[in-house]
A = this chain, B = another copy of it.
Amino acid sequence: MSENISGKTDVNKLGEFGLIDHLTKEFTTNLPTTIKGIGDDAAVIDHGDHVSVVSTDMLVEGIHFDLMYTPLKHLGYKSIVVNISDIYAMNATPQQVTMSIAISSKYSVEALEELYAGVFLACKDYGVDLIGGDTTSSPKGMAISVTAIGRADAKEVVFRSGAKPGDILCVTGNLGAAYLGLQILEREKQIYLSNPGTQPDLENEEYIIGRQLKPMAQKAAVDYFKEKKFQPTAMIDVSDGLASDLFHICKQSGVGAFVEEGKVPLHPDTERMALKFNLDPITCALNGGEDYELLFTIDEKDLEMVKYMPGVFIIGEIIPAQDGIKLHTTGGNIHDLKAQGWNHFKDESNNPKDN
């Protein structure tokens, strides 16, 4: 492990996931009620005839959000949505949330009312109850911590670890837009900072900016699984980027995967905007993150079910672990897929981590 000048190890050296693994490696779960601890989108607690799934996230000003371009109402809304997205990723129904905020004295009561208006709206949209929280001061900036609790039948819960070779890889919607939305907002911020008289140029970009500022959790997909009485073999929400999140499924399921580049869904605005930023649209889709779509695998026998599932795209297949994690390009080449998702401890970029 690399050491810095004082002989101590810099947290940057481990990366976010490496750091969590390292810090929690001695923690075992001991209670019979703890079905699943650290390591999935959410933890699972036994209640006899059903289970609770529990997920928690922290959002920090200057790391996960920038109040120069994030309306507080959207921030409140998004704080809830990113957590209940983890609950859906377990194939469970979100029911309760708690929210704690630390704020510096620069925030007025009216600003907090805006934030809570967004929380209220998200709770209403997804039918969850806000049941607790903590409001405290902070010497500087804002931090928000949300814990979401969902409910499911024990046999319905879908982990990251159930994918097997032959399973079909699916995603609930287009990818990359949230990342490009962030690029636009960052660009306009820089323009504004160098010339405060300028009006932001956001026209015609409602879709991609909306994907960044007001993400949706994929309730419809989980409702569909329940209605049609089938379920994925593995599932995760796309918070860090398709590639990074697919790696989690592959690692925990002990499998490989291939992704058909040509089948990765892109919104026309995403393609157009990527080119405007001189970015490869597919790279944005694979590594952008914050789309909060569900990435899941299904058994071949359920293929007919997903063929008619609204908004769902089949993008690849699960293969044996020794065959690796591959991208089949539209040009006919096969590359190793690289997980380049965001790493807070390396670039302090804009991306919350799941669970």
Name A residues whose Cβ lies closer than 8 Å to a Cβ of B: 1, 4, 6, 8-14, 16, 19-20, 22-24, 26-27, 29-31, 33-34, 36-38, 42-43, 45, 47-50, 52, 54-58, 60-64, 95-96, 98, 100-103, 105, 107-113, 116, 120, 123, 127-141, 143, 145, 147, 149, 151, 344-345, 348, 352-353, 355
> Are B147's CB and A56's CB within 8 A?
yes
Which one of A34, A47, A136 has the greatest number of beta carbons of chain B within 10 Å?
A136
Known: A133-B355, A143-B143. 19 other contacts (CB 8 A): A4-B108, A9-B109, A11-B112, A13-B109, A20-B133, A27-B129, A29-B129, A31-B129, A34-B129, A34-B131, A47-B52, A48-B49, A57-B100, A58-B100, A60-B138, A63-B136, A138-B143, A139-B348, A140-B141
Copies of this chain held together in the complex: 2
Shortest Cβ gap from A120 to chain B (Å): 6
- State A31–B127 Cα separation when bound (angstroms): 8
- State A138–B62 Cα separation when bound (angstroms): 8
- State A102–B127 Cα separation when bound (angstroms): 29
- State A60–B133 Cα separation when bound (angstroms): 15
Q: Report 9 cross-chain contacts, Cβ distance below 8 Å, ordered by A residue.
A: A12-B105, A27-B130, A29-B130, A33-B96, A47-B48, A47-B52, A58-B101, A63-B138, A140-B140
Chain B hits for A137, CB < 8 A = 11, 60, 63, 344-345, 348
Closest to A26 in B: B120
**SS of A interface (majority):** mixed
Closest to A13 in B: B109
Closest to A111 in B: B8
Shortest Cβ gap from A126 to chain B (Å): 11
- State A109–B18 Cα separation when bound (angstroms): 11
- State A131–B37 Cα separation when bound (angstroms): 4
Cross-chain contact of A19 among B33, B100, B109 (Cβ < 8 A): B109
Closest to A346 in B: B137
> Are A58's CB and B145's CB within 8 A?
yes
> Are A353's CB and B8's CB within 8 A?
no
> Are A108's CB and B9's CB within 8 A?
yes
